[in-house]
Amino acid sequence: MHCRIEKTKMMENVWMLTDRMGMHMTLLVGDDKALLIDTGYGFDDITAAVREITPLPFDVLLTHGHHDHACGAFQFDHVLMHRDEQAVFAFYAGSWRQRVWQQATNKGLDLSDWTEEEFIRIPCGQAAFMDECEISLGGLTAQILSCPGHTKGSLCVYVKERQLLLPGDDMNPTTWIFFPECEGLGTLIDSLQKASSLPFSQVLCPHHNQLLSRADFDAFLQGLSMENVLSTSEKAYHLWEGKKVFACHPQPHYTLCYDFEKLPEAWKNACRNLSDD
């Protein structure tokens, strides 16, 4: 296993690590210890990348259990996650690995340091469950928030001293909440509202390589009004066969794909009324 992880310092104490699949992880480095948030697709030696930044001991936390965040979990003794994420983690970081291998080969990635058999037979890794808490890293504090939406056990992280929010997959330039394990849009909005009570000024999303501003977050959340969601929605049924998936635009450069059946009842009714007109 080689390490082809790119390291980018985003601000003091905060690094973005990008694996060979282009997936971003975040490393917070305090005075006493570090915290790695997410583990990427798992093709790269993550500890080697962390060691190029800090010699300090570090914990590993998953914002949620999807394969692009969790397939690297096997490299550690255990990874912290929300209890409600156990089944999602076991599935996507375990039996889904065959699909991940396929995805990587379709991208034409150099996987010469792996064999397919080696990669797909790796078990998902050990989970240690946690709830909302604060993790002190020495001069740097990670506040962990339960924010169901993208999945039931999704976590957001607020880095107090840097006024930085890490929203996990609850917010990305393209946000997906149409998988079977996703919560409805109403739950996602509740979680984003909860996060918005924190005094963050910048946001770092796992599927975007630049910091976003607080204003970007506020505009995204504001754009999730019933009126805006329904008026900007178009069919995206190809994303999940057999489901009524729609794509809407909370803001011009943002897309959110959702399962119509999991919309709040009032929204579904409003939509039916619209289509009756």
User: Which residues of this protein are in contact with Zn ion, per CB under 5 A?
Assistant: 66, 169
Q: How far is the CB of 181 from Zn ion (least distance, A)?
A: 9
Q: How far is the CB of 150 from Zn ion (least distance, A)?
A: 5
Q: ∠54-58-61 over CA atoms, to 5°?
A: 130
User: CB-based contacts of 125: which residues, under 8 Å, 6+ apart?
Assistant: 70, 73, 74, 75, 76, 78, 79, 93
Q: How far is the CB of 65 from Zn ion (least distance, A)?
A: 8
Q: How far is the CB of 231 from Zn ion (least distance, A)?
A: 27
Rounded to whole angstroms, the Cα distance separating 156 from 145 reads: 5
The residue (of 23 and 104) whose beta carbon lies closer to Zn ion is: 23
**Sign of the dihedral defined by the CA atoms of residues 124, 129, 134, 139, in that order:** negative
Rounded to whole angstroms, the Cα distance separating 237 from 183 reads: 18
In terms of residues, how long is the chain?
277
The residue (of 172 and 233) whose beta carbon lies closer to Zn ion is: 172
With CB atoms as reference, the residue minimizing the distance to Zn ion is 66
Rounded to whole angstroms, the Cα distance separating 176 from 243 reads: 13
Run of H or E including 209: none
The residue (of 89 and 119) whose beta carbon lies closer to Zn ion is: 89
Q: How far is the CB of 66 from Zn ion (least distance, A)?
A: 3
Residue 25 structure tokens: 């992880």
Q: How far is the CB of 69 from Zn ion (least distance, A)?
A: 6
**Edge-to-edge order in the sheet of strand 127-130:** 6-11, 14-18, 24-29, 34-37, 58-61, 79-82, 127-130
Rounded to whole angstroms, the Cα distance separating 144 from 27 reads: 15
The residue (of 169 and 259) whose beta carbon lies closer to Zn ion is: 169
The residue (of 66 and 262) whose beta carbon lies closer to Zn ion is: 66
Q: How far is the CB of 26 from Zn ion (least distance, A)?
A: 15
Residue 19 structure tokens: 């694996």
What is the DSSP secondary-structure string of 66-86? -HHHHTTGGGSS-EEEEGGGH
The residue (of 150 and 162) whose beta carbon lies closer to Zn ion is: 150
The residue (of 44 and 169) whose beta carbon lies closer to Zn ion is: 169
